[in-house]
Amino acid sequence: MRMWNVNTDVMCNKHLLGEHVEMHMFTGSINKGINMQGYLDKGLVEIHNINKRHKELVKEMKKRGMIHNSPLNFICNNEIGYVDSIYNLQELNYRCEECRRLQNVSN
């Protein structure tokens, strides 16, 4: 699981939908009391931004004509975690030809 935390318009559908599912997986794990320390240590999630990020992902999904039926209401009042968006953008470009193409189109 990971929060890419990059501009949603430079993500392919696969990565967009994948991150959306993972926001639900993070909240489910947190609500079950599962320890998130490993994800925090590796810079894979900003727990305080899960709800905000979910909304960004849903907005992009709808913009692309996708249907969204999985609301998320998660609240974290403490700033917990940090995700390096610049590194993640580079990682997406390395991993995914479609994400790389979308980034080139947006520049």
Q: What is the pLDDT of residues 49-99, one digit of tens each?
A: 999 999 999 999 999 999 999 999 888 889 999 999 999 999 999 999 999
pLDDT digits (tens, 9 = 90+) for 11-35: 999 999 999 999 999 999 999 999 9
- pTM for the whole thing? 0.94
Residue 104 confidence (pLDDT) above 90: no
pLDDT at 37 over 80: yes
Integer Cα distance of 35 and 17 in angstroms: 24
Gap between the Cα atoms of 42 and 61, Å rounded:
27
